[in-house]
């Protein structure tokens, strides 16, 4: 069975998988400054200002990922494990439970679409 490297997190809708190819760091939740009218916040992480998108409760860690060439922090995710996991269709298996791929690019697009922005070519 094929294996995938990455991070298993728990969010609002259960277990999810973030591939190691896009996950850059996992940090304790920093102070996030809201951006008025944007649905996102900004935080200082390792000396860099990153956009922060809430995906869960206020508790939890900040997962910094590279999405479409940009560093973005995803807040409110509870880390469960990192390493290599057995691949299943649409994700990985973690402790006999499926952890489905977390589509971070879609989450970012959803915020932008609500604001009238687009990423990539039209």
Coil vs helix vs strand at 32 = coil
Task: Give me the pLDDT at residue 112, please.
Answer: 63
Report the 10 Å Cβ neighbour count for 14.
11
pLDDT (tens digit, 9 = 90+) per residue, 40-57? 899 999 999 999 998 877
For residue 99, list its beta bridge partners: 92
- Statement: residue 116 has pLDDT above 70: no
Q: At a CB cut-off of 8 Å and minimum separation 6, what does 84 contact?
A: 3, 4, 5
Cα distance between residue 38 and residue 103, in whole Å: 20
- Give the start-to-end residue ranges of the domains of the chain: 3-115
Residue 105 confidence (pLDDT):
86
What percent helix, strand, coil does the chain show, rounded to 5? 10, 55, 35
The predicted model scores a pTM of 0.84
Q: What would the pLDDT profile of 86-113 be if each residue is shown by its tens digit?
A: 999 999 999 999 999 999 888 888 876 6
């Amino acid at each position: 069975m094929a294996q995938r490297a990455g991070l298993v997190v728990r969010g609002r809708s259960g277990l999810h998988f973030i591939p190691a190819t896009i996950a850059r760091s996992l940090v304790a939740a920093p102070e996030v400054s809201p951006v008025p009218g944007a649905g996102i916040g900004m935080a200082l992480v390792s000396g860099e200002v990153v956009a922060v998108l809430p995906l869960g409760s206020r508790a939890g860690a900040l997962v910094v990922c590279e999405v479409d060439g940009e560093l973005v922090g995803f807040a409110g995710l509870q880390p469960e494990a990192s390493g290599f996991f057995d691949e299943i269709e649409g994700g990985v298996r973690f402790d006999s439970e499926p952890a489905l791929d977390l589509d971070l690019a879609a989450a970012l697009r959803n915020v932008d679409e609500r604001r009238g922005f687009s990423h990539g070519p039209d």
